[in-house]
Amino acid sequence: MHVAFIMDGNGRWAQAHGLPRHEGHRRGASVIKKVLRVAEKSGIKYVTFFAFSSENFSRPESEVNFLMNLFEKFLKKYGKTLCEREVHFRAIGNLSQLPLNLQLAIEKLAQSTAHFDKFHLTVALNYGARSEVIQATGNLLKNKDVDVENLTWEDFEQYLYTKDLPDPDLIIRTSGEQRLSNFLLLKSAYAELYFTKTYWPDFNEEEFLLAIEDYGARERRMGKINDKTNN
Ligand code: FPP
């Protein structure tokens, strides 16, 4: 099972507590650890976090810098633990626009964990689904061996950042907003969506278990006729 998170509401959480926005991000980072623990215990093998959208680069420079430092610190702090727990780490997005130090930290951790298959942690950084599709199409067209007339989704998917990941089964968005905001648009064609009003820094084990329970009660038809009504 693949669960993807749109971690929203860090700024509003901070505001509600009379704190600067970066405190919301800092606390938001600590939630990731809790979520990973629940996922591992619940037998969820793939977890993806939308940490920074391409659009987020237009935020004030101080906030962008704070977030970039936070990402790098996170990778350095938990790199060893991730290896010990046999977690395959990936980052998806246009990584070449990220600060060099962060790119290097990503590359190092991604390479040193690439052989693990017990659990898969993916972080979307400078990610936007539309630019992912444009970039994928460009690369596909550069490949002269591609038979465009008979192209299948499976062929096309190989050009996406998410090529080695299964489709997300469940997408959870916090903070009450009910939209995908350019996140995994094609991969989430059949994903179940779960929205909670809780701000990301307050998201916790109980909330995650509730979302998993809610997902478990849904009937996933994937465009097919329900077996029960078909009998
Ligand atoms: C959205 O809240 C959150 C972000 C843009 C940043 C998400 C980053 C983290 C949770 C930090 C940790 C991540 C990693 C991978 C270590 P917002 O700032 O848009 O909140 P608002 O909508 O209330 O202003």
- 29 alpha carbon to ligand 1 midpoint, in Å? 8
CB 76 within 8 A of CB 105: yes
Query: Where is 30: in which H helix or E strand?
Result: helix 21-41
Verify whether ligand 1 is closer than 6 Å to residue 8 (CB atom). yes
Closest by Cα among 35, 48, 88 to 191 = 48
Residue at 84: amino acid letter: E
CA distances from 92 to 180, 209, 225 (A): 16, 26, 34
The number of domains in the chain is 1
Strand order across the beta sheet in which 119-127 lies: 87-92, 119-127, 46-53, 2-6, 170-173, 192-195
156: exposed, middle or buried (C-beta count within 10 Å: 0-12, 13-18, 19+)?
middle
Is position 57 within any domain? yes
**Predicted pLDDT of residue 98:** 97
230 within a domain of the structure (yes/no): no
Residues in the chain: 231
Provide the CATH number for the domain around residue 16: 3.40.1180.10
Pocket lining: 25 vs ligand 1, CB cutoff 6 Å: yes
Query: pLDDT tens digit string along 16-27?
Result: 999 999 999 999
Cβ pair 130, 182 in contact under 8 A? yes
CB of 105 sitting under 6 A from ligand 1:
no
- Residues forming a β-bridge with 49: 5, 123
The residue with tokens 């995908």 is 180
Determine, yes or no, domain membership for 223. no
Compute, in angstroms, the gap from residue 117 CA to the centroid of ligand 1: 27
Structural domain includes residue 222:
no
Which atom, in ligand 1's list, is nearest to the CA of 49? Answer: 15
Dihedrals phi, psi of 64, to nearest 5 degrees: -60, -45
Q: For residues 27 and 200, what is the distance between their CA atoms, to the nearest angstrom?
A: 9
Domain-embedded: residue 136? yes
pLDDT in the model for residue 42:
95
Q: For tokens 């600590």, what's the residue? A: 30
Q: How far lies 135's CA from each of 5, 117, 181, in Å?
A: 23, 27, 18
* Residue ranges in the chain modelled with pLDDT below 70: 226-231
What pLDDT shows up at residue 222?
Answer: 77
pLDDT of residue 227: 59
State residue 231's pLDDT score: 42
pLDDT at position 182, please?
A: 97
CA 1–ligand 1 middle distance (angstroms): 24
Q: Is the CB of 5 under 6 A from ligand 1?
A: no
> Which of 5, 6, 7 for a ligand 1 pocket mutation test, highest count of atoms within 8 Å of Cβ?
7
For residue 105, the enclosing domain spans 2-216
pLDDT at 220: 77
Is residue 132 assigned to a domain?
yes
Q: Which residues are identified as catalytic?
A: 8, 56
* Cα–Cα separations (whole angstroms), residue 102 to 2, 26, 94, 214: 25, 17, 13, 36
In a domain, 226, yes or no: no
17 assigned to some structural domain: yes
- Residue indicated by tokens 């067209």: 141
